[in-house]
Copies of this chain bind each other. A is one copy, B any other.
Protein backbone atom coordinates (compact mmCIF):
# COMPACT_ATOMS: atom_id res chain seq x y z
CA UNK A 1 0.00 0.00 0.00
CA UNK A 2 2.82 2.40 0.90
CA UNK A 3 4.77 1.53 -2.26
CA UNK A 4 1.63 2.06 -4.37
CA UNK A 5 1.16 5.50 -2.78
CA UNK A 6 4.85 6.38 -3.18
CA UNK A 7 5.48 6.58 0.57
CA UNK A 8 9.12 5.74 1.37
CA UNK A 9 9.56 3.24 4.22
CA UNK A 10 12.54 2.05 6.23
CA UNK A 11 11.63 -1.56 6.98
CA UNK A 12 12.76 -3.39 10.09
CA UNK A 13 12.32 -7.15 10.42
CA UNK A 14 10.47 -8.24 13.56
CA UNK A 15 9.60 -11.79 14.57
CA UNK A 16 6.40 -11.38 16.57
CA UNK A 17 6.43 -15.04 17.73
CA UNK A 18 9.55 -14.30 19.81
CA UNK A 19 7.50 -11.77 21.86
CA UNK A 20 10.54 -9.61 22.50
CA UNK A 21 10.37 -6.94 25.20
CA UNK A 22 10.81 -4.07 22.71
CA UNK A 23 7.79 -5.27 20.72
CA UNK A 24 5.59 -5.86 23.78
CA UNK A 25 6.30 -2.34 25.05
CA UNK A 26 5.03 -0.90 21.77
CA UNK A 27 2.18 -3.37 21.44
CA UNK A 28 1.14 -5.73 24.27
CA UNK A 29 -0.82 -7.72 21.66
CA UNK A 30 2.54 -8.52 19.97
CA UNK A 31 1.06 -8.04 16.51
CA UNK A 32 2.34 -6.24 13.43
CA UNK A 33 2.59 -3.94 11.55
CA UNK A 34 3.79 -0.96 13.57
CA UNK A 35 4.44 2.26 11.67
CA UNK A 36 6.48 5.16 13.03
CA UNK A 37 5.39 8.49 11.62
CA UNK A 38 7.87 11.32 10.97
CA UNK A 39 7.01 12.66 14.43
CA UNK A 40 7.94 9.27 15.98
CA UNK A 41 4.39 8.34 16.92
CA UNK A 42 3.63 4.61 16.70
CA UNK A 43 0.62 3.46 14.70
CA UNK A 44 -0.16 -0.09 15.87
CA UNK A 45 -1.97 -2.93 14.12
CA UNK A 46 -3.31 -3.58 10.64
CA UNK A 47 -6.57 -1.60 10.97
CA UNK A 48 -4.86 1.49 12.40
CA UNK A 49 -2.18 1.28 9.70
CA UNK A 50 -4.55 0.94 6.76
CA UNK A 51 -6.42 4.04 7.93
CA UNK A 52 -3.30 6.02 8.84
CA UNK A 53 -1.70 5.43 5.44
CA UNK A 54 -4.97 6.37 3.74
CA UNK A 55 -5.40 9.49 5.93
CA UNK A 56 -1.81 10.71 5.77
CA UNK A 57 -0.64 9.65 2.33
CA UNK A 58 -3.48 9.16 -0.20
CA UNK A 59 -2.10 10.53 -3.43
CA UNK A 60 -4.18 13.50 -4.58
CA UNK A 61 -3.64 12.93 -8.28
CA UNK A 62 -3.79 9.23 -9.12
CA UNK A 63 -6.52 8.28 -6.65
CA UNK A 64 -6.20 5.84 -3.81
CA UNK A 65 -6.93 2.19 -3.20
CA UNK A 66 -10.34 2.93 -1.62
CA UNK A 67 -13.20 3.08 -4.17
CA UNK A 68 -15.09 6.36 -4.04
CA UNK A 69 -18.54 4.78 -4.38
CA UNK A 70 -19.80 3.76 -0.91
CA UNK A 71 -21.15 0.35 -1.99
CA UNK A 72 -17.96 -0.47 -3.88
CA UNK A 73 -16.07 0.47 -0.72
CA UNK A 74 -18.30 -1.85 1.32
CA UNK A 75 -17.44 -4.68 -1.09
CA UNK A 76 -13.75 -3.86 -0.67
CA UNK A 77 -14.03 -4.04 3.14
CA UNK A 78 -15.95 -7.31 2.93
CA UNK A 79 -13.06 -8.88 1.02
CA UNK A 80 -10.32 -7.22 3.06
CA UNK A 81 -11.97 -8.75 6.14
CA UNK A 82 -12.26 -12.11 4.35
CA UNK A 83 -8.51 -12.12 3.69
CA UNK A 84 -7.32 -10.68 7.02
CA UNK A 85 -9.59 -12.83 9.19
CA UNK A 86 -10.93 -15.90 7.35
CA UNK A 87 -8.10 -16.71 4.94
CA UNK A 88 -5.55 -15.94 7.65
CA UNK A 89 -7.31 -18.07 10.28
CA UNK A 90 -7.89 -21.03 7.99
CA UNK A 91 -4.73 -21.04 5.88
CA UNK A 92 -1.87 -18.54 6.18
CA UNK A 93 -1.51 -18.45 9.96
CA UNK A 94 -1.08 -22.24 10.18
CA UNK A 95 1.47 -22.43 7.37
CA UNK A 96 3.57 -19.53 8.69
CA UNK A 97 3.48 -20.98 12.22
CA UNK A 98 4.38 -24.49 11.10
CA UNK A 99 7.02 -23.62 8.51
CA UNK A 100 8.64 -20.46 9.88
CA UNK A 101 7.79 -19.70 13.53
CA UNK A 102 8.17 -23.26 14.90
CA UNK A 103 11.55 -23.69 13.24
CA UNK A 104 12.66 -20.27 14.45
CA UNK A 105 11.58 -20.81 18.07
CA UNK A 106 12.79 -24.36 18.69
CA UNK A 107 14.03 -25.85 15.44
CA UNK A 108 10.90 -28.00 15.20
CA UNK A 109 9.63 -29.48 11.95
CA UNK A 110 6.11 -28.83 10.61
CA UNK A 111 3.22 -31.10 11.59
CA UNK A 112 2.05 -32.81 8.34
CA UNK A 113 -1.64 -33.02 9.34
CA UNK A 114 -1.78 -29.26 9.94
CA UNK A 115 -0.12 -28.55 6.58
CA UNK A 116 -2.61 -30.85 4.83
CA UNK A 117 -5.64 -29.20 6.46
CA UNK A 118 -4.40 -25.69 5.65
CA UNK A 119 -3.73 -26.60 2.02
CA UNK A 120 -7.17 -28.19 1.64
CA UNK A 121 -8.69 -24.98 3.04
CA UNK A 122 -6.62 -22.94 0.58
CA UNK A 123 -8.21 -24.86 -2.28
CA UNK A 124 -11.69 -23.79 -1.13
CA UNK A 125 -10.63 -20.15 -0.84
CA UNK A 126 -9.10 -20.20 -4.34
CA UNK A 127 -12.39 -21.53 -5.76
CA UNK A 128 -14.24 -18.59 -4.26
CA UNK A 129 -11.74 -15.94 -5.30
CA UNK A 130 -11.63 -17.36 -8.81
CA UNK A 131 -15.41 -17.30 -9.02
CA UNK A 132 -15.26 -13.58 -8.19
CA UNK A 133 -12.43 -12.89 -10.64
CA UNK A 134 -14.31 -14.67 -13.44
CA UNK A 135 -16.79 -11.78 -13.52
CA UNK A 136 -14.64 -8.87 -12.32
CA UNK A 137 -11.53 -7.08 -13.38
CA UNK A 138 -10.16 -6.94 -9.84
CA UNK A 139 -11.11 -8.69 -6.60
CA UNK A 140 -13.66 -6.16 -5.30
CA UNK A 141 -14.89 -4.79 -8.64
CA UNK A 142 -13.81 -2.87 -11.73
CA UNK A 143 -10.89 -1.10 -10.10
CA UNK A 144 -7.79 -2.18 -8.25
CA UNK A 145 -8.39 -1.76 -4.49
CA UNK A 146 -6.93 -2.56 -1.12
CA UNK A 147 -8.63 -5.97 -1.33
CA UNK A 148 -6.26 -6.95 -4.15
CA UNK A 149 -3.20 -5.99 -2.13
CA UNK A 150 -4.51 -7.81 0.94
CA UNK A 151 -5.02 -11.03 -1.01
CA UNK A 152 -1.79 -10.63 -2.99
CA UNK A 153 0.18 -10.31 0.27
CA UNK A 154 -1.18 -13.66 1.44
CA UNK A 155 -0.73 -15.35 -1.96
CA UNK A 156 2.84 -14.09 -2.12
CA UNK A 157 3.59 -15.43 1.38
CA UNK A 158 2.07 -18.82 0.52
CA UNK A 159 3.84 -18.89 -2.85
CA UNK A 160 7.18 -18.09 -1.19
CA UNK A 161 6.80 -21.17 1.01
CA UNK A 162 5.89 -23.31 -2.02
CA UNK A 163 2.27 -23.78 -0.97
CA UNK A 164 0.66 -22.62 -4.22
CA UNK A 165 0.60 -25.25 -6.98
CA UNK A 166 0.14 -22.94 -9.96
CA UNK A 167 -0.54 -25.83 -12.33
CA UNK A 168 -3.83 -26.33 -10.43
CA UNK A 169 -4.83 -22.67 -10.04
CA UNK A 170 -7.55 -21.55 -12.50
CA UNK A 171 -6.63 -19.10 -15.26
CA UNK A 172 -8.52 -16.07 -13.88
CA UNK A 173 -6.61 -16.16 -10.59
CA UNK A 174 -3.27 -16.76 -12.32
CA UNK A 175 -3.92 -13.82 -14.63
CA UNK A 176 -4.93 -11.60 -11.69
CA UNK A 177 -1.78 -12.47 -9.74
CA UNK A 178 0.35 -11.85 -12.82
CA UNK A 179 -1.12 -8.34 -13.14
CA UNK A 180 -0.44 -7.66 -9.44
CA UNK A 181 3.12 -8.97 -9.69
CA UNK A 182 3.93 -6.68 -12.59
CA UNK A 183 2.99 -3.52 -10.68
CA UNK A 184 6.07 -1.47 -9.70
CA UNK A 185 4.78 -1.39 -6.09
CA UNK A 186 4.95 -5.18 -5.92
CA UNK A 187 8.33 -5.69 -7.59
CA UNK A 188 10.44 -4.62 -4.60
CA UNK A 189 8.42 -6.80 -2.23
CA UNK A 190 9.27 -9.84 -4.37
CA UNK A 191 12.95 -9.27 -3.57
CA UNK A 192 12.43 -9.75 0.18
CA UNK A 193 13.89 -12.95 1.58
CA UNK A 194 13.38 -15.03 4.73
CA UNK A 195 16.79 -15.83 6.26
CA UNK A 196 17.99 -19.36 5.44
CA UNK A 197 14.81 -20.10 3.48
CA UNK A 198 14.98 -19.46 -0.26
CA UNK A 199 11.66 -18.88 -2.05
CA UNK A 200 9.98 -21.49 -4.23
CA UNK A 201 10.93 -21.65 -7.92
CA UNK A 202 9.16 -19.02 -9.99
CA UNK A 203 8.26 -16.98 -6.90
CA UNK A 204 9.48 -13.65 -8.29
CA UNK A 205 8.96 -14.45 -12.01
CA UNK A 206 6.30 -12.59 -13.95
CA UNK A 207 5.87 -15.73 -16.04
CA UNK A 208 5.06 -18.51 -13.55
Contact = CB atoms under 8 A, between A and B. Distances in A.
A88 B30 CA distance: 16
Given A29-B86, A70-B55, A86-B29, A45 B77 contact: yes
Contacts of A28: 128
A82 interface: yes
B128 A45 contact: no
Nearest to A128: B28
Interface string A30-55: 01000001000101111110011001
30 contacts: A28-B128, A29-B82, A29-B86, A31-B86, A37-B71, A41-B71, A43-B71, A43-B74, A43-B78, A44-B74, A45-B77, A45-B81, A45-B82, A46-B81, A47-B47, A47-B78, A47-B80, A47-B81, A48-B73, A48-B74, A48-B75, A48-B76, A48-B81, A51-B73, A51-B74, A51-B77, A52-B70, A52-B73, A55-B73, A56-B70
